[in-house]
Amino acid sequence: MVIVLQTVKIGNVILESPLVLAPMAGVTNSAFRLLAKEMGCALVYSEMVSAKGLVYRQEKTKNLLRFFEEERPISVQIFGSDPDVMGEAAAIVADEGADIIDINMGCPVPKVVKNGEGAALMREPRKAYAVMKAVKDAVRCPVTVKIRKGWDENEVNALQIGRLVEDAGLDALTIHGRTREQFYSGTVDWTIIGKLAKSLSIPVIGSGDIASPQDVQRMLSDLRCAAAMIGRAALGNPWIFKHCLHYLKTGEMLLEPTLTEKVKMSLRHLQLLIGIRRETVAVKEMRKHIGWYLKGVRGVKAIKLQINKAETEVELRQILFSLLEKDDPNPIFKKIK
């Protein structure tokens, strides 16, 4: 089924398509976001940023706010549980030029929830409302929130929180269809996503195990979500945005990227990372990404051992070129140095 693609409006921000890149800690820096944008992603998110870190002027935290104009529109996701601190942090983010500010109420990791932050806020609806209202009142740009189905199967309160989101005046909501106790395992509850999308007047973005163009189509057509958020399926596969857009427009599936295309994208990613990191840091960070890019490639285990020992850009490039030479005696990348 072909879908007539429409723009998505979040406050005063217009998205050209319903495809969104999820915020992922340690992954969605500028390099990754730019690749997603180049492949047709309409909205990218920063890694989650500590509100306290911003208010206390921590340089490492402030660096997470950096982005390029080519990434717009961009949403910066902040986390915290103190309404005053969250409001002050939101003002800092807005001053840095973010198009949208997102409130994290879905992170399940213990070091976050033990402080009453992330998904733990869903257990305290009054505080959650106070946090959302404080952020909304502190800035002029659109404010959104990301939640989960609930804390566990005994505390499923996404619909209740959704009503509070509207009452606080927020501009959109993202729901991940798992509970906090599930983390990222088990089955995503698509039913709760659909119920929320149909019950709210603000845009609802569906999230959780969206791994194919068909998943996106179902999220939009069956569940009536305004947009679909893609996370882990984009690791080593920024093409997913291009493939989803093509499928939604034509009903046709594009071919999976070739080994040459994967290597080319790895090199592009490495180049972008070195543009925002010291070479040694970029190379170490790139190791995991190359592992994702080469997932399923024949003989990749031996290649990974070499990659994990690489310390320089030149070493990484040589390893990737050698992989191509085994696959093609006359690779086009011999010209690339």
The residues annotated with a catalytic role in the active site are: 107
Q: Are strands 44-45 and 19-21 parallel, antiparallel or unpaired?
A: unpaired
- Residue 117 CB neighbours (<10 A): 24
Cβ atoms 10, 203 nearer than 8 A: yes
CA-based angle 206:19:148, to the nearest 5? Answer: 20
Using an 8 Å Cβ cutoff, are 316 and 270 in contact?
Answer: yes
Alpha carbon distances (Å) from 161 to 157, 158, 231, 281: 6, 5, 23, 40
Q: What are phi and psi of 230, to 5 degrees?
A: -105, 130
Neighbouring C-beta atoms of residue 337, cutoff 10 Å: 7
Give me the amino acid identity at 76.
V
Tokens representing residue 181 in the block: 């106790």
